[in-house]
Amino acid sequence: MDTTDKGFTEKVLKAYSNIEDPRLKFIVALLIKHLHGCVNEMKPTDEEWEFAWDYMRRMAAITGLERNEFLLFGDVIGVSQLIETLNHEEPGQPVGYALVGPFLRANAPFRARGASIASDDTAGVRVRITGRVYDFQNKAPIKGAILDTWQAATNGFYENQDEKQPDYNLRGRFKTDENGTFEVIGLMPTAYPAPTDGPVGELLRGAKRSPYRPAHIHFIVSAPGYETLVTQIFVKGDKRIEDDVVFTASENMIGDFQKEGDHFRLTYDCPLKPGVSKMPKAPIPA
C-alpha cells in the first residue's frame, strides 16, 4: 500500500468523521492531516518510530503532580508561547502575554499590601514592586483585581523543587486598592535553567541550546469582566532575553529595576482588556 497516496489519509479521516463536537472534530482532522503529512515527508524508519514512542513513554514516566515533562517539551519547542500569542496578543499592547510555565501552584496565600513573598531567611536582594491595574480601553482603575505572583529563589529553584524552602515561599496573591494600585516585595529575579535531567534535557543538549531562562518574576492578573493577563517581568539589560529557552521574553515584558539603597524598586502597570475572566490550570496542586 502506498501511504503517500491521499487515499490512505482520507480513509483515516473518514474513520473519525462521526465525532459530534464540531471543534473536536476539526482538531482531530487537522491533527491527522498534519501528522500524516509530516510522516510522509520525514519517512521515519522503524527504529526512529520506536525512539519516538519510547521518548514519549520516558516523558510520561517523570510526569506527575510536581513536574510535567510534556508541558516543558511544549515550552522549549515554542508551542506554549505561540498559543499565548495567538490567543491574546494585539498590536500596540503595552504588556505581553506569557506562557504559564510548569511552576504555577494553586491556592497561593493572600498577603497584605506591601508584604514580602520571601521568608525572612530567604537569601537575596529584595525588590519593591508597585503599579496599577487599569482598564486598557478607558484607563479606569480596577479595584479588587488579584495579582498571583511566583518566582524562583536565588539558587534557581521554586519552593516545590527545594525542600529547604518554606511551603509557598516566593508565592503570593495580592489585591488592588480602590485606585487599582498594588505593592509587592519579592526578590530581584534570578536566571535559572529548565530541568535537564529528562528527555527534554536530551533535546536541548542535542540542539546545543542553553537551558537557561532570563531572570524573571511571574504575574497573573485577574478581575471579573476582564481577560486574565498572564505575564512575566524580565530585567532590562539581561543578555539572556534574546535566547530564552522557552521563547517567551520580549520587549513588552521588560521592567526597569532601579537600585534604591539596599534594595531595588520597580514600577510596572498591568492593563486588562474587557473579556472573560478565567484562571489557567495550575500545573502544581495546592
Write the pLDDT tens digit of every residue in 136-178. 999 999 999 999 999 999 999 999 999 999 999 999 999 999 9
Residue type at 108? A
Closest C-alpha among 188, 197, 271, 171 to residue 235: 188
Task: Summarize pLDDT for 185-216 with one digit per residue, the tens.
Answer: 999 999 999 999 999 999 999 999 999 999 99
141 found inside a domain: yes
- 2 pLDDT higher than 80: no
What CATH number is attached to the domain comprising 111?
Answer: 2.60.130.10
Show the domain range for 122.
92-272
51 found inside a domain: no
C-alpha cell read off for 178: 480602590
Cα separation, 31 vs 13, whole angstroms = 10
38 found inside a domain: no
37 found inside a domain: no
112 found inside a domain: yes
- What is the structure's pLDDT at 68? 92
69 found inside a domain: no
255 found inside a domain: yes
136 and 89 in contact (C-beta within 8 Å)? no
285 found inside a domain: no
pTM reported for the whole predicted model: 0.90
